[in-house]
Structure 1
Amino acid sequence: MSLEGDLKEFGLADILQLIYFQRKTGVLTLEGRMDRVRLMFYEGNIISAETKRKVEANRFGSLLLKNGLIKEEDLQKALEEQQSSASGGGEKLGSILIKKGLIGKEQIQEILTTQITETVIHLFGWKEGNYEFSPQGVPVDKETPVSLDTQHVLMEGLRIVDEWSLIEGKLTPDAIFEKTGKSGAGGGALTSDEEEILRFVDAESDVSTIIDSSRMDSFQASKSLVSLMEKGVIEPKEAAPVAPSISLHKTSPAAKKGIPYPSFITPLIFLASLSIAVISFPAQRSEGADRIKTSADIDNIRFIIEAYKYENGSYPQSIEQIAKTADSWGRQYIYKPAADDFVLFSTGPDGKEGTEDDVY
């Protein structure tokens, strides 16, 4: 029996609990203003997640590079092999990397787990949208199987949304911290995450650089930095402006009508701005890596644009109002706003609009 409806009436937490406790197998499709996501379940647990906004191979490749699990040139060769095999049904990027001996099965499963978890947790920011669950058979990856306990993912998502209130307003992506010389004994012993993050605090690296170096997820690293600051172990070296330059405190059209401004918007914008900043590559990059970074940037800029409209009632007239970033080839993104929608893309390596190498 199909389950469908409006997220305003039946929220994501309720949907996940229903699927989990009834041990359902099938596909949950969620469609909102910013994305269309498909979650696949097997006997109540999540085994796969797909998002329309991001090309799965690009997301997977970005995580491999960020975690230092593969060299850029090896990833590029694997992507080219995957593309050449597309006519024959295509082969998964992870399978190609395992076959070449570039990465282990356990590492692939760890990255896939991270990828699925991040996709699901991002959905907790949705307050509007439609959902549909269709009971059906789903393909199970026999080579690198992944199965996430839905109840655990649910609790983690709710925890992160709740705990962002501890971070909001205390951290910006370009803030720089320095050590105070205090041990932190007054605030208790340091956790392993705090000790790990503290290694990268050098009075020069900003928050984005620290997160990238630590290889933690943005939330956990940010939480550790705030905790270190509260314990007196580190302190801001200098004030830094919030990036991107969106004012989240002025009166919005929704506020004028007496509608509460949703608290989840600010932390999600902060996460998006961090994501743009921390995906970095060496100076000499292949075209494949350039496309991965550009695709990731576009996805996060889209989210910031939608948040801008929520606050101001219309899309920004120019992209410079919200994101001062160029694509991987040093060119400005093409941005075309309309009343109810917008177009955002990169002209790709050739710099020409409307050609096959454009990146969306």
Structure 2
Amino acid sequence: MPLRGELAELPLMDLLQILLLNKKSGVLIVEREHLSVEEEVGDRGELFLRSGQVKFIYLKRGKQLAEILSAMGYPLPPAHEREAPEINLLVEILESDNPLRVEVARHAKRLTEERMGELLRWKNGKFIFKEMEVPAALDLVEVDSLELLVQGARYIDEWEMVSSKLSSFEVVPTYPDSLPDGPLSFSPSEWRVLASVDGVRSVREIADQFPESTFEVAKAIVSLVEKGVLRVEERQTTPKDVFPVVHRLLLSAWERLEMEEFDQAEDLATQALALDPTLSVAHLFLAEVYYAQGKYKEAARRYMEAMRRDPSLSPRVNYHLACALVMSGDFEIAMGILEEAMANGGHPRAAELKSLLEKTLSMLKEKDKSFEE
């Protein structure tokens, strides 16, 4: 029988703690009515839990995953033709071999963090929890549920301060005509925000560059406004579509790779990397292109660069790196990489490749021994 009730009697924070402690899997649906015109949050939220961990949150209003995917250049049907729920779209991408899925998971994590803070502000409404199987692919959205609740509680406490300075996350930070006199000091996050302000991008668009949530970036902007080094304006014009260029190039490169047009895929991936050399997924994709071309040493170098820029990729990429090293004849190094992959619970075929490599090395040693004799 589904668990149901009223938020006025069982607040969302308490309800989530119960579900987390009991390691529940399913979807928690929260609904409320009679929203004020000023509120940005939606009137329906869906929280997907897997073994007691929040994996993704859908919110009816506000920025949607489809908008982010469209900006990344991901092909989507027109809005009026989309029938699948947002969660289905996310799972479909995460279960695919699309090289953008890691980037999509990062955006899904950010959306989940923002939406949790907004949902925790709801004091009234109804809820129902339905136990169900939640796809394992959502594990790619690496959300720490306890940290999520802590951030959400802090979001509530600090929201009034932020909302008094920013009418929404869509306002545009820009520089004032004159700066205040006297010395100023900034935190590292404030310096990064200052370097990203261009008078065109909104608070939300600036936050998309950083690992922190939009709310944390908004707090840094509020601090800079209070120090007199920034001011905010309502958006007057639509910003130029610059950021999505990299993702469109990678998507086109993926299509070329699927068609086995390797030279074109390499050219497009190289262009994407030139625009954003820090993007780990671009290095990873170029490694895949090189591997398909038989350029195994170049592929190995790109795999290593991708992991250097994003260490969280290592458990999944070590196996592919080992394959490239084997194909280039670097057997001993490949063996070490495979042992590391197995120790960290990496690719399921790592043990199989290690066994084959051990047999190959043994045969080579026997051959060398007989040759010496």
CA positional deviation for 1:59: 2.0
The sequence identity of aligned pairs, in percent, is 24
In the alignment, which residue of structure 2 is the partner of 1:49? Answer: 57
Which of the two has greater helix per residue?
Answer: 2
In the alignment, which residue of structure 1 is the partner of 2:102? Answer: 106
Structure with more contact order per residue of length (Cα contacts < 8 Å, sep ≥ 6): 1
The answer as to 2:10 corresponding to 1:5 is no
Tell me if the contact between 2:166 and 2:222 (Cα under 8 Å) persists in the aligned partners: yes
Tell me if the contact between 1:200 and 1:210 (Cα under 8 Å) persists in the aligned partners: no
| Unpaired stretches in structure 2, ≥5 consecutive residues | 34-41, 245-373
Tell me if the contact between 1:28 and 1:38 (Cα under 8 Å) persists in the aligned partners: yes
Q: Which residues in structure 2 correspond to 1:263-342 (within 5 Å)?
A: 282=241
CA positional deviation for 1:129: 0.3
> Quick one: distance in 2 between partners of 1:93 and 1:149?
18
CA positional deviation for 1:123: 0.8
CA positional deviation for 1:200: 3.9
Q: Deviations over 1:187-229 (max 9, x none)?
A: x4x2232112112446xx27x6355245355423321122223
CA positional deviation for 1:131: 1.1
> Quick one: distance in 1 between partners of 2:58 and 2:218?
26
Q: TM-score of the superposition, structure 2-length normalised?
A: 0.49
Structure 2 CA distance for partners of 1:214 and 1:2, relative to 1, 3 Å: closer
The answer as to 2:57 corresponding to 1:61 is no
> Quick one: distance in 2 between partners of 1:45 and 1:139?
11
In the alignment, which residue of structure 2 is the partner of 1:209? Answer: 202
In the alignment, which residue of structure 2 is the partner of 1:193? Answer: 189
In the alignment, which residue of structure 2 is the partner of 1:150? Answer: 145
Q: TM-score of the superposition, structure 1-length normalised?
A: 0.50
> Quick one: distance in 2 between partners of 1:123 and 1:145?
23
- From 16, 21, 35, give the equivalent of 2:43: 35
> Quick one: distance in 2 between partners of 1:224 and 1:19?
33
Tell me if the contact between 2:30 and 2:127 (Cα under 8 Å) persists in the aligned partners: yes
In the alignment, which residue of structure 1 is the partner of 2:22? Answer: 22
Q: Deviations over 1:119-164 (max 9, x none)?
A: 3222122121011223x23221438643533221111111112112
The letter for the 2-side match of 1:177 is: Y
- From 142, 151, 159, give the equivalent of 2:154: 159
In the alignment, which residue of structure 1 is the partner of 2:117? Answer: 121
Tell me if the contact between 2:120 and 2:152 (Cα under 8 Å) persists in the aligned partners: yes
Structure 2 CA distance for partners of 1:212 and 1:184, relative to 1, 3 Å: farther
C-alpha RMSD of matched pairs (Å): 4.1
Tell me if the contact between 1:27 and 1:41 (Cα under 8 Å) persists in the aligned partners: yes
The letter for the 2-side match of 1:161 is: I
Structure 2 CA distance for partners of 1:111 and 1:94, relative to 1, 3 Å: farther
Q: Deviations over 1:79-135 (max 9, x none)?
A: 47xx7998xxx97467459857451x321221221222233222122121011223x
> Quick one: distance in 1 between partners of 2:82 and 2:25?
33
| Unpaired stretches in structure 1, ≥5 consecutive residues | 244-273, 286-360
The letter for the 1-side match of 2:25 is: T
How many residue pairs get aligned? The number is 225
Q: Which of the pair has more CA radius of gyration?
A: 2
Q: Deviations over 1:18-75 (max 9, x none)?
A: 1122222232121111522221212211123334457xxx822322455xxx23xxx2
Matched position secondary structure for 1:125: coil
